[in-house]
Every structure is written in C-alpha cells, then in structure tokens.
Structure 1
C-alpha cells in the first residue's frame, strides 16, 4: 500500500514523522518533497493528478500556516495549496481514503465541518487511529479482490494471508530476501509447508553471476530458517536451487492465490529487481483458478528437475 503525505513546508518534519509511523505499519509513504512526486519538466497540478492515480490513500497535515481576515477578525488557516490538494485527492481516492491531521486549530473550510480529523500533537492516539484507518482500507481492498488485481507485494501478502493459516506455500524467485523479511513482519501467520526455489550460480560459467546477489540469497535462506526455527511460523521447509536465469517470479498460497511479478536484470549495472507492482490472482473466477493450476504445475515440473539439490528442514518444536 502506498500513501501520499502532504503538508506545508513549515510542517515537513511532521510529514516525515508520519511517514516513519506508516513504515512501521508495512505501508510505503510517499512524501510531497520526494523527487518522484514533482519530476523535472512537469506541471505541478498534472503531477499531482498522476500521483493520485498511483497511490492508495492520502494524508494531509493542516496547520496554522497563514494569517487571514475572516468577517473582520484575524485568524490562522491552512496553506491554500494543501487545502486544494486535499480536494483533489479526496475526489480521486474517495473521502474515506483521504484524511487530514491538524496541528493546532487552523480555520477549516465550512465544507469540511463534521469530518473527523486527528490531532497530530496527540501522537499515541493518532497513531492508533491511523493504524485502524489503514486496516479498514486493507479490509475494503480485500472485499474488492476478485480474479485479478494489480498491487504491491506487501499488500498482496496481506490479502493472501488474511486467514493466517496456509497449508502449502510455493515460491519461485531469485533470492526472496526482501519478501521473506516482509513475511517475518506479518503477525500470527502459520505456514504448514513452504517450498522455496532459489537461484544457484556457477561463478565460473554463469554470465549473470553476481557475488552480492549470492550473498542476498544466502541471507534469504537464513531468514527462511529463522521463520522455521525461531519465529515458528513455518513447520516444514524445503529449499530447492535452480541454475538458469528466469524472467518472472511467483508465490502460490495453497490453490487460493497466485502472486506474479517480473524479474529484471541489467547486465551493465549487474543489478536485479523484482517488479514493484505485482499481479494478484485469486481462485474466485474460472480464469483465476486456471492460472493458479497452471503455475502449480509449472512449479512441480521445475521442482522435479532440481530435487537433488533440495535442503530440507523441520521445526522440531512442532
């Protein structure tokens, strides 16, 4: 999940702090001052419209930024562009997915009267309210999932693991280092049997060989073993190694969900990336069930070719 955070320049530090809270809730914050928000050569309003189509929700920080005269009296109000942007995002994302936090008691537009807002100075209570709000968005997204959905890997995990218990998890990828770290942060999950296929390099003959990537794979294996032996989130773990370079990676949760993403390797930079956006496919449609079945077959066929390199582990406490 990606959430845009906007504020005046004077309250940028508050926006950064809110961003750190969101990161602790497995959310990707997008602050208004990040280079990707306003790229060179783009009109500000056009950039904001584009951004509103590439985030899931938005948080605006309203402060006592500017002095105005209202009905003969001096008062402090929200920065005009922050208020304007709030209107844009609430229109694009819905008012349920666009909220504002107040620093002090700035004058608000009368159209906003009655909307519940958070007091950013009450940090403990507002963090709890933010987490409840994020969970409500995730729950709403889960209800909308039917067939195919484009999302990010963390949100795909949250949806696929919503029932907490998975009998069989199959993963085919190069390293899984980042994804296993994400999985370790999700509470109260139970995976009966995980089968992980990871890349194996021949550092003499492999044109894709990269020592840093091999280190990432080793760290991923350590994290998988930690989920088994220390976190006790996995009862049985099999790790397979394959020796060719794939162009896709995927995760299969039982026969219910398939998460599919592209793998890209830039030879000149010796750099590999897993696609930021993934496709989440569920078994609620005939087409979805066909895709999941096809990838289970593909996984099992690949596994047969490499079963001699399997490493097997078992949670001795289970």
Structure 2
C-alpha cells in the first residue's frame, strides 16, 4: 500500500523547522517540503509558474501541513501583532479548499495572532525557543493524519463518479438479485451471485478502448433486466464460475477522472508526467474506497467484489 503524501509549507526563514517536521513525519508518510530541489519530488519546477505548481500540488498530496511563525509585524486594530508570511496563509487556504479541513493542519508559534477565519482548523502550537514543544506538535499532527485510515467520501471527481456509479448500477443490481433470490440465465436459476467490478491499475487516455481490450480476457455473455423505477434496462456481462453467476462490469465512468483532473490542473501541466500518474492513482483508490464504503453502508459488501487488472 502506498504511503500517503504530505506537503509542508513554511517561510524561507524557517526551513529548519520544515526539515525537522519532515524527519519526524517521513517515518509514516512520503513528505515533500515546498523548496525541495529534487526534480521528481519538487513542488516548484524550473521555468514553471509558481501558482500553477501550487494548484498541481494541492491535488497531488493527501495532506497539507503549514508552519506559521512570527515572520511579519502587522497593525491589527491599532496594535502591532506578529503574523505568518502571506504566502503561508495563501497555501493554507488553497490546501483547505482542495483537500478539506480534516486533511490540513496549521502548526503555529504561540506568539502568533491567529485570524478568526482559520480558528476552525486543526491547530498545533509550539514555542520557538522550546524544541520539544515543536516535536510534540508535529507528532500530534502525525497522529491526526495517520488515524485517518483511508480517504473519506468527498467531492473529488473519483468519489462523485463512484457515488453515481453505485447509485445507478450497483445498487439496483444488488436489489434485483436480493428481491428475486438470484438471477436466471438460459433457463437456469442461479442463487449464488456476485458482481465483479473490474478496475485497471492505471487509466489510458481512451478508457472505453481500454475496457474493450480487458473484456477480451473474459468469456462472458451479456444479459439485461428491467428494474422497477428505472426508465431503461440494466445490461451487464456475466460468467459462470463453479456454479456461481458472476456479473462483470467495466466502469467506463472512470474516464471522468481523467477529464476532471485535466480541467482542475493548469493548462500547461503534462498529463504524461509521474505527478499526473500519482494523482490519477490516488483517484482510482478513492473510487474503489467509495464503492466499498457505499456497499458496506447498504449491506451489499458480500455481493460486490472489486478486482484490479494490470
């Protein structure tokens, strides 16, 4: 199982804190600091637009950790207060907007004035003169992220597509099988049935063609049925294995992930890059996770099986 990825943002003056946080977090996560100079892992690429790079990073990482330190003195209602660098606050807002509150943490110096707009997010405070307090704050964040065993169902394209796929195909098929105590094919009634959802390990640009090629590896027969309340027939491939009827489906709706991600990313982002592949891989995982969670919630987890194809 892949390690979840964390982005660490800080001011340039406090890179030592970012590196200290990385040394703690990389035991359990894949960690990238904003100034990483290694091309494969760097957030800001040479000759690229910084804002475009940040937009890409907000999709590429699973969690965002921003370190707020006393970098700038500002006037606040007549008083002088210390606030983090503007770019740190901007990155915090960007990652919260893309990943959600539960996926972001703000580790801040106790001397900082905290804006009222961000008091609802996960905050961990430390004293700059007390190194153990910083370690404790980072460990707290690590536990927060680590305890999120898997991605929640959210509004990333994968989760939305998986929800629609479950509602429109898997849910009615499961209900039909239960209500009819199985399914009849060629005059034979099969009570032992299962729905197998075939998921590729990666997505090709033409997902429909990709699934047509995968279908050739199956000796299947197409069947259809009309489910109450639906304006059309449900059509699925089937195979008989050990006297069990296996419904096989290739969710071409996955093509929407490619489409959505390509539109969320800057126009100049290379869809053939390893970063893009990492984002797509994560979205496929979220698609699978969402289906499994919805199946569990509806007590269909014994009927639905996810199969990954190489």
After TM superposition, the score normalised by the length of structure 1 is: 0.46
Q: Considering Cα pairs closer than 8 Å and 6+ residues apart, tell me whether 1 or 2 has the greater RCO.
A: 2
After TM superposition, the score normalised by the length of structure 2 is: 0.47
